Structure 1
Amino acid sequence: MVTVRDASFAVFAHYGVDRLFGNPGSTELPMLKGLPFPYVMGLNEAVVMGMADGYARASGKPALVNLHSSAGTGHSLGNLFTAYRNNTPIVVTAGQQARSILPHDPFLGAERPSEFPRPFVKYSIEPARAEDVPLALARAFAVALTPPMGPVFVSIPVDDWERECALPLLPDLSLATLPDPAGVQRIAGMLADAKNPALIIGTGLANNPDGWDAAIALAEKAGLPVWAAPYAARETFPEDHPQFAGFLAAWRDKINSALAPYDALLVVGAPVFTYHVEGHGPHWPEGAALAALSEDPAHLSNLPGGTAGSFGVLGNPAAGLRQLADLLPARAFTGTSHQLIDPAPEMKAAYVLKRIAALRPENAVIVEEAPTARGPEHDTLPIRRKGGFYTCASGGLGYSLPAAIGVAMAQDDKVIAILGDGSAMYTIQGLFSAFQERANASFCILNNSAYAALTGFSGEFGMNHVPGCDLGGLDFAKLAEGQGVPARSVSRVEELDDALAWSFAQTGPSLLDIRIA
């Protein structure tokens, strides 16, 4: 017999946990006694969750998060929702009050802890007995890692950690599921019979370690033009590759227009499709056959009905693409390549992003949350490497600043966080974690003094004024320096290259407050 704490540490070791992300509270303290790995502290639970998400996605390992009961868990929910949409394997443990006083409505007690984080977790439990905590944790890791991956939640009363229990059995699991061979054959037939087929890739393929290479192999063998699915939250395909066609917008009419030349579409690791506003008409060009390949059943069950020639295949998408590359005959590429632009030298997002692209270190990783700059980013800052791009699939703000810290912890290359001023302010206290962890991250704030994405989007609803969008007066250099991160402000084109070179040369965190029009 061992303590619940020691048995839990054995579970963590079995699943490769090498650090704990958290913001400590009283009901979590017994968990931290004799902690066998580093504790990564965030000044707010949203920061904690964002760092853990970035670390898990970049490392390919599950992340462990420790939160306080209701209030601490509540603070994390925005980025917990993002982790759920990102399909990130995170095991969240939350402190609960002692079992003996739970009937008395204690201070810092959580009345229904397993219900609180739903529906943004795949599994949620407060074990009925202290002895069951390690087994609940073992199951939580298995569920988090089962495709489609995602966060899970375990509430643990403060007095459980010292109780005795038996070590749970910890089997090694192989959780990848190969797609049905008959389904792959059917996709191969659809593509082979088409005169002008295309490949559309989403985050679900990029989350697979072999997804990038498998997509390149299939596209080059079969001559397929490749599109990034709407709001893809990872790199999908080399954006300087001649067969990269561009990015699908999250508008139904724009999707139909972009895909009009094709008579067969293979959508991999993405819904069909993600939309931002209501649309009308077909979901893809009429007359085009469509197949969806994904390990997420929701992508297939949500396949729009009423269109002839559409079908879905469930299974590991990278394995499916490898099989298709073997089955399909060679075909030359005859499509059109995505074209970058060359913006004029002025303090606007497009030019700033062009200079980031030109001056970034070799193999730099981009972590982005600048909604108004996403279009210019696509046109000026090509992602050229596997593991080279991260953003949030949920659309919720406050993710990418802490996520950049987690990504930096997981790998050795420079991380460049491209953030809007509004986005950065949601989790600006994450800069203190960057300082503490010496994260090799350059935080580039595109400061337009507004929630400009919202004012720009207002035209969709016939509005010419949106209240509450003025962010003038924020000084990000001072905010960074107050948390130990060196910073500069940039307001003129003549200063830009020198400031970027300075930031990229740092071996720890730095910040640029880039004042753009």
Structure 2
Amino acid sequence: MPSVRRVSHEFLERQGLTTVFGNPGSNELPFLADLPDGFRYVLGLHEGAVLGMADGYAQATGRPALVNLHAASGSGNAMGALTNAVASRTPLVIVAGQQVRPAIGPEANLASVDAPSLMKPLVGWAGEPACAEDVPRALAQAVFEARLQRRPTYLSVPYDDWEAEAGDNSLAVLDREVGRGAAPGAEQGRRLAERVAAARRPALVLGGDIDADGLFDDAVRLAERLGGPVWAAPSQFRLPFPNRHPLFRGVLPAGIAPVSEAFEGHDLVLVLGAPVFRYHEYLPGRYLPEGTRLIQVTEDAAAAARAPMGEALVADPGAVVDLLLKTLDAPASPAGDFRPVPGPPTAEGAETHPEEVFAALRDELPDDTAYVVESTSTSAAWWRQMDLRRPGSYYFPAAGGLGFGLPGAVGVAMGSPGRPVVGVIGDGSANYGITALWTAAQHRVPLTIVLLRNGTYGALRWFGGLLGVPDAPGLDIPGLDFTRIAEGYGVPARQAGDAGELRALLAEPADGPRLIQVDTALTTPS
């Protein structure tokens, strides 16, 4: 009779979940025993970095990633990073160790009391098997729920279960597959196509799911067929459209009133692959202008249900894009020339202006470079200088929680062999996931980190002005030298004194990870 561990390992292998991101404790060791030869264990030195790396890896590969955490303490350490994975709809399968069954009730040390409740409401599904024989089935449910919901799931397993016999029926799980079909029905598709075709001034809003689902180029074709303006949805974590395309109007502001203002004069707003909407700053007003109709198409049923306005169709955005391309009669509008990039300003004093940094990245690095960005105070400067025309070119912390950038960049690089990957990281955010540098060094991940150091939490300074709190304490972080920190973790690092030196360093070949620190002037997110 095979053990629970053996059946579970074989199931994971058949499902392609053979890369394990983790930081093990005693409860997890029995699961990790006898890992098959094809498995790879990626050790992170903090659970937040572990989950961030898995998030980046799953987004880059388009497949679920397996995360192994230590009981309640390790799971708790990962929860901040989990918020970003939830908001980006990343399918992660989190398996956590639990005390042996007889020790859970008495709350022995390392027992996770009511473990499934610990990660709720963040995860889409959480469970702890009622008996050892149910572990393989519950593990399969965690995998399938993650795929179906496009959301992290959580399974707590008592560590004495792994050695138990799996039972006569356990092998049935090995051949299971679960899929879904989400094309709109014939009548739904006809009505949607008619409404889009009848619109006099349609506008298109695209979400991160467009890029995550491989619809980047199809979205361009649809936009050119419609001929109207295109926005990225607020609080964007992936770029769904070339940012210098003549139809692109940028990322919508994350406030009710400015979003409504952007839609003035449009009779139809078609939202594909995004919630409606992920606001941030509280700027109240009408949700939509008078006479504007909004139609949302998303696979995320919860996002459709909670939207405060408009109509929603729960369907695969890809199927809808394909339908519209086939049914709309109008020929595609000529794209015209992509908008030129303005010359970057220079900063006063010794610091480099962030736009000079981004101009150097744009000019010196290959066009297919993927950027993982967590420098929140330089967002406006970023979009003024970058020219991103490829799918999978941009990743950002989806929930706004710091700590995704460095680990996410490591995960994206591991999941994108052969593609250049750059992490653009602010000094305020770098500290939240700094231990990911060690993992990058150990695995010789081909990755460039450009560290923007301005000595303060720049985005918070901007928010202080918005909220009328200009004198808030705790916003300055002087005295950090990330070149020395990186070298301590085994990553070669250099200081770029100015934009010219940065360009020269970027042009140098790199074998494995590297970090380039640049002292930058303080800018605002918008």
**TM norm structure 1:** 0.95
What is the CA–CA distance in structure 2 between the aligned matches of 1:228 and 1:339, rounded to whole Å? 19
Distance (Å, rounded) in 2 between the aligned partners of 1:287 and 1:331: 27
Letter in 1 for 2:279: Y
Q: What's the offset of the Cα at 1:436?
A: 0.8
How far apart, in 2, do the equivalents of 1:494 and 1:69 lie?
49
Residue 125 of structure 2: aligned partner: 123
Counterparts of 1:135-150 in structure 2, within 5 Å, are 135-146=137-148, 148-150=149-151
Query: Tell me, what secondary structure is at the counterpart of 1:198?
Result: strand
The match for 1:109 is 111
Match of 2:270 among 266, 269, 278: 266
Cα distance in structure 1, aligned partners of 2:227 and 2:201: 9
CA distances 1:383-411 after superposition (whole Å, capped 9, x unpaired): 21111111121110001210111111111
* Percent identical residues: 39
Alignment of 1:31-430 (within 5 A): 31-36=31-36, 37-146=39-148, 148-165=149-166, 166-169=170-173, 170-209=175-214, 211-305=215-309, 310-331=310-331, 333=333, 340-346=341-347, 347-411=352-416, 412-430=418-436
Tell me the distance in 1 between the aligned counterparts of 2:98 and 2:332.
61
- Amino acid corresponding to residue 156 of structure 1 in structure 2: V
Paired AA for residue 218 in structure 2: A
Residues 1:498 and 1:73: Cα distance change in structure 2 (over 3 Å): same
* CA distance in structure 2 between the aligned counterparts of 1:392 and 1:192, rounded to whole angstroms: 35
Offset of residue 21 of structure 1: 0.6
Report if the CA contact (8 A) 1:68-1:94 is conserved: yes
Q: What is the 5 A alignment of 1:475-490?
A: 475-490=481-496
CA RMSD, Structure 1 to Structure 2 (Å): 1.7
**Conserved? CA contact 2:221–2:332, under 8 Å:** no
Task: Give unmatched runs, 5+ long, in structure 2.
Answer: 522-526
Q: CA deviation at 1:243?
A: 2.5
Q: CA deviation at 1:192?
A: 1.6
TM-score (norm 2): 0.93
Output the amino acid matched with 1:246.
G
What one-letter code is carried by the residue in structure 1 that aligns with 2:188? Answer: G
Q: Look up the equivalent residue of 1:159 and give its one-letter code.
A: D
Can you list the C-alpha shifts for 1:471-497, whole angstroms capped at 9, x where unaligned? 110000000000100001123234221
* Equivalent-residue separation in structure 2 for 1:85 and 1:101 (angstroms): 35
Distance 1:493 1:407, change over 3 A: closer
Q: Does structure 2 conserve the Cα–Cα contact (< 8 Å) formed by 1:190 and 1:289?
A: no
Q: Which runs of 5+ in 1 are unaligned?
A: none
Count of paired positions: 509
Structure 1 residue identity aligned to 2:293: A
For residues 184 and 79 of structure 1, what CA distance do their matches in structure 2 show?
A: 38
Per the alignment, do residues 408 and 142 of structure 1 end up closer, same or farther by CA in structure 2, a change over 3 Å counting? same
Deviations 1:46-94 (A, max 9, x none): 0110111111111111101111001111100011121111111111011
Question: How much has 1:299 moved relative to structure 2?
Answer: 2.6
Structure 1 residues 335 and 282, CA gap change in structure 2 (3 angstroms): farther
2:454 equivalent in structure 1: 448
Instruction: Supply the AA of the counterpart residue of 2:3.
Output: T
TM-superposed CA distance for 1:251, in Å, is 2.0
Q: What do the CA deviations read for 1:124-182 (whole angstroms, capped 9, x no partner)?
A: 11101011111000011110000x40100111111111110132423222224112333
2:365 maps to amino acid: R
Q: Structure 1 168/81 Cα, relative in aligned 2: closer, same or farther at 3 Å?
A: farther
Cα drift, residue 339 of structure 1: 6.0
State the alpha-carbon separation in 1 of the partners of residues 179 and 401 from structure 2.
32
Counterpart amino acid of residue 318 in structure 1: G
